[in-house]
């Protein structure tokens, strides 16, 4: 397994619709394993392939509730139903460090996807789990969570993120107790 580099936004890749996968073989399984390893290394809960520079329809999600790893690997995920009930959650992204925003999304969803063996699966998700899946799915559809905001608010947050990244790169330590990454 390998730790992949996280692509920071804004990126033209985040505006592209990710390509569907044909056969799920060793290469796709390795990508998913590497994405999970990256997710855990960066202490995230969701990761989409475009976030590591690969325009393919793959997401990995692990809420790690109570410290227990229960990863979901989803190839070619498609949301088939969204509830009318909505919820608002504070969302952030590994590709947009140092910023977050309250985003309104459907409270529950149904989706289809293929697992690591290529078997077609169906899943119902609600609450935070549904939010995380929708957040990662945005990357596959050529959107980011900030696209749910007004242009003014999005631009303000992007400016703040770029300032944070610049400071982070110029410090020997970012001051974040949970950050385990080297700084140059």
Asked if the structure places residue 6 within a domain, the reply is no
* pLDDT tens-digit readout, 38-47: 999 999 999 9
- pLDDT for residue 170: 65
Whether 136 is catalytic: yes
CATH of the domain at 19: 3.90.45.10
Asked if the structure places residue 158 within a domain, the reply is yes
Number of helices (H), then strands (E), belonging to the chain: the values are: 3, 7
Q: Residue 113: which domain range?
A: 12-170
Show the beta-strand stretches assigned E in the chain. 46-48, 58-61, 72-82, 86-93, 96-106, 108-114, 120-126
* Catalytic residue, candidates 16, 122, 124, 136: 136
Q: How many CA atoms within 13 Å lie on the side-chain side of 7?
A: 18
Which of 28-42, 56-70, 155-169 has the weakest average pLDDT?
155-169
- pLDDT for residue 175: 45
The domain tally of the chain equals 1
- On whether the CB atoms of residues 105 and 91 are closer than 8 A, the answer is no
- pLDDT for residue 172: 45
What's the pTM?
A: 0.89
Rounded Cα distance, 93 and 181, in Å: 16
For residue 7, is pLDDT > 60?
Answer: yes
For residue 153, is pLDDT > 60?
Answer: yes
Asked if the structure places residue 71 within a domain, the reply is yes
For residue 173, is pLDDT > 50?
Answer: no
Asked if the structure places residue 5 within a domain, the reply is no
Asked if the structure places residue 4 within a domain, the reply is no
């Amino acid at each position: 397994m390998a730790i992949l580099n996280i692509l920071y936004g804004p990126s033209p890749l985040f505006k592209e619709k990710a390509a569907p996968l044909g056969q799920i073989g060793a290469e796709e399984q390795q990508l998913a394993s590497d994405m999970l390893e990256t997710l855990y290394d960066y202490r995230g809960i969701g990761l989409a392939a475009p976030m590591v520079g690969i325009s393919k329809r793959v997401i990995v999600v692990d809420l790690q509730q109570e410290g227990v790893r229960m990863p979901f690997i989803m190839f070619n995920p498609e949301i088939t139903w969204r509830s009318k009930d909505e919820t608002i959650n504070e969302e952030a992204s590994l590709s947009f460090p140092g910023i977050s925003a309250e985003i309104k999304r459907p409270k529950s969803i149904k989706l289809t996807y293929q697992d690591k063996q290529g078997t077609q699966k169906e899943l119902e998700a609600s609450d935070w789990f549904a939010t995380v899946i929708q957040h990662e799915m945005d990357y596959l559809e050529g959107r980011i969570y900030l696209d749910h905001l007004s242009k003014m608010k999005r631009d303000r947050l992007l400016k703040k993120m770029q300032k944070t990244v610049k400071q982070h790169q110029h410090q020997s330590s970012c001051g974040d107790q949970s950050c385990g990454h080297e700084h140059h």
